[in-house]
Amino acid sequence: MKRQISRAFHPQGQASRQTQNGAHSGPSLRPTSWAVTALLTLGLQAAHAQTPPAPAEAPANGTAAATDTAKLDAVIVSGQGRTQQLQSVPIAIQVMSADQLRKLGATNMGELNSHIPGLDIDSSQATQPVMSMRGIGSSDFGIGTDAPVGIYMDGVYTGKSGGAMLNFNDIKRVEVLKGPQGTLFGRNSAGGAISIVSNDPAFKSEGQGLLRLGDYGERHLEALVNHPLSDTLALRASFVSQRSDGYVRDAGTGQLAGDEGAWGAKIALKWLANDDTNAVLSIEHEKLDQGARPAFGLVKEVSNGGPLPFPVQQSDFIDPRHAPLYNDVLGNREKRDYDGATLRIEHSLPWAEFKSTTAYRHFNTVDREDNDGTRNPNAYLSTTNLESNTSLQQEFRLTGKAGALDWLAGLSLYEETAKQSSLIDVTTTGLDTVTSNLLGMPLFSTVNSLAQMSGIPGINLLGLDWQEAMHNEGRYRAAALYGDAIWHLNPSTNITAGLRVTRDQKRFSWYNPPRTAANLDAQLAVLDQLGMFPGLVAAGALSQTDADTLQTAMRNNGLVVTSGASNSPLVVEHSWNDVSPRLVIDHKLQNDLMVYASITRGYQAGGYNTLQVNSLFQPEHVTNGELGLKGQVASQGLSYSAALFSYRFDNLQTLDLVPAATPGGLPAYQVTISDQQATGLDLEGRWQINRQLRLSGAMEYIDQTYRTGRSSGGEDLAGLPVGTPKFSGTLGADYLWAALGGTANAGVQASYSSARRCNPKSYTQGECLNTTSWHVNDPRQRWDVRLGWDSAADTSGRRWGLGLLVKNLLNEQHVQRVGLEAAPFGSAFAALSKPRTIAVELRGSY
């Protein structure tokens, strides 16, 4: 669980495996040598045995044709609630097809992080991912807030936590829509929307299978069958499993960490009721059970297990990429059980198309992880996030045409019940360290000494468990009416206008019960029974004030909230109304070149900080202006798009580390508010040079700054960069050639992101950090390569193929974030990206 402790103190080369002296170690299971040799031999043979493609026919106008005519594939999207060609949609959209996902070996949205410029996803915690688009995002993990980037599966909102990062299972395409999408997607898309579209059952028999085996014990399996049960009923069933043993070995326990373990199944039925009506019912289940993300310590281990040096000095941090892993949390695990059901009914009316979508989602998650990155008992800290979520969604939509008008209207209803428990586990030994570091007096060691002074035997208050908790429950309802119309002024010019009227109602509660420490309480009861504290006060060895302070500190909460424990939940209710408009004009300068201008407004409902009792923040709003163009040169196989955007984001809430108001106190994670602005440029292009070679690329440049805001230390942030890298980009190349009676293919995908831009707040939050040997905010690059071969279809339509896939070819591991939750104990940790992986795959279809 990310930054779950609400009070935490903040002070003023690469390796893939590890040996005993510090290099990361893991299983050495590589793809079998015969498989690699076969694939490389295939490539060498194909280079000599390539069969040139047949010359293309001459064009109708009589001009000479190239030996290899390039051909553009039409890309279909549904981001505007209608099926359209990508190049005709006046929105900045990047699309990943199922074939692209397979070639990248991407199993979920998190693995697209570096391949879509402007989209940043930290999926190191599968049940609590963090994402941003065009610099707009939220780091808050609590159920009291929504995320400004919404993920939608077949039009159904998946939430921001347990239901957001599911494995791809029979996916048709992924559409990433940049900028506010409030009119059609709703309040959870102020920064953008990710629309994942799956395949519907078809009235034909087909099957597919894929097996991928790789190092670190990777085992990926996909299976799909589609079969018509009758002329009006078709069945589609799919299964996916992703597992690995882990990429790093814990130096203390010898156990592997960083493993993966998830499987999912989906079944769908399509019914053609009559010529005008059809329905699709899909049911899915996914189960995740794997180790929590590894926490690499940034402070050198103390050989004798004594207290760590304090205060923590960032300049002394060791390089986590070369550091041994020591995690000592019992029950270190991340789990999720997810169930979903969706019923979609479509009916053709004489004057419109009607669509009803009814969806149910439920998940339970557990994320228990190490937050100190050591095995030192003086710094033990773990957090656990427990969530249970149930949502019901209903949407009715009508689309139609009337003369020069294409229109869409809809009603959206949403209801959600969410429960969250945030647990913090420490020991009295660790609390002894904290009180010694911050107050100059080790609390429990002092009481041990007092017991010894009083002649009370058998008292040892160190090494005992201590747990604090915050329990939250939210009940949310949202209703919206929306409409969108495209007015075709003439064959070349369209005006699109949209409006969404939303009402949100939220009921939220906090319950912070007294701390749990059964073994400690048993010994304190002995001290009370023997009257130790009154006796010391009577003897003049201890003042009454000091006695009261010691007893209060040992019995009361001190980690979760500043207001102390409560005997019952505090419940609040609020509601908000919003109007989100959209206006777009697009014009074709020529048949294959369109320009457009748009202004849109996004809305994020208000909410609550789960760790700050009785907190409230008001809705967020973003206004985005965009100038864009989309075009193609069909004869050259070239398509391209560009979008110049500028936005203003008001009342953005982020979860920050705020210093304590009184000396010696512990800082708390609280929601802080700022206004931000940005100007940027998105570019994307595809070039089908010939039938063999395709190039693709995309980039984003963005200058994002604060309009107003202050850091947790009080510094004025106005005019300073927010932190988003100025540049991110990706380039890809795919080459096909005839080989061994089939088609061989080779591909490479490279991505780059410039350094994170830093400000005083970035350093306070651990988002920027510079030491002599490593940095958090370094530029990042990644290379993925692929070599494969596909057979030609036989007489029965069966095909099979082989592939070799290398992810992160240069084996660059980056520090994804620095965790400072354990700084009061004298420790800190880092979360790392994954090392290079190599896998071979076998696939077949009929």
Q: pLDDT digits over 593-613, tens only?
A: 999 999 999 998 999 988 888
DSSP string, 753-777: E-PPP--HHHHHTTSS-B-SS-BSS
Superfamily of domain 33-53+66-515+556-845: TonB-dependent receptor, beta-barrel domain (2.40.170.20)
Q: What is the distance, to the nearest Å, from the Cα of residue 820 to the centroid of all Cα atoms in its chain?
A: 21
**DSSP code at position 176:** E
Tokens describing residue 548 = 């009261």
Q: Which two tokens stand for residue 128?
A: 């609590």
Nearest of 146, 79, 157, 174 to residue 412 by alpha carbon: 157
The whole-angstrom distance between residue 602's C-alpha and the CA centroid of its chain comes to: 21
As a dihedral over the C-alpha atoms of residue 431, residue 434, residue 437, residue 438, rounded to 10 degrees, the angle is: -120
The DSSP H or E segment spanning 437 is helix 428-439
pLDDT at residue 657, rounded to an integer: 64
> Hey, what amino acid is at 527?
L
Contact residues for 509 (Cβ-Cβ < 8 A; gap 6+): 472, 473, 474, 569, 570, 571, 572
Strands (E), 90-190: 93-97, 119-122, 130-133, 136-137, 149-153, 156-157, 171-178
CA contacts within 13 A on the Cβ side of 840:
16
Residues of the chain predicted below pLDDT 50: 2-67, 663-664
What is the pTM (predicted TM-score) of this model? 0.89
Q: What is the pLDDT of residue 21?
A: 38
Q: In this structure, what token pair is assigned to residue 493?
A: 């010019």
Compute the distance between CA of residue 382 and CA of residue 331 in angstroms, rounded to an integer.
10
Q: How far is CA 56 from CA 59, 64, 74, 457, in A?
A: 9, 10, 20, 96
Per-residue model confidence (pLDDT) at position 444 = 97
Please write the tens of the pLDDT for every residue from 718-776. 999 998 999 999 999 999 999 999 999 999 999 999 999 988 888 777 788 877 778 88
Q: What count of Cα atoms within 13 Å lies in the side-chain half-sphere of residue 537?
A: 13
- In three-state form (DSSP H/G/I as H, E/B as E, the rest C), the secondary structure along 598-646 is EEEEEEECCECCCCCCCCCECCEEEEEEEEEEEEEEHHHCEEEEEEEEE
What confidence score (pLDDT) does residue 56 get?
38
Between CA 86 and CA 73 the distance in angstroms is 11
DSSP-derived letter for residue 404 is T
Decide: helix, strand or coil at residue 99: helix
Strand 130-133 to 136-137 pairing:
antiparallel
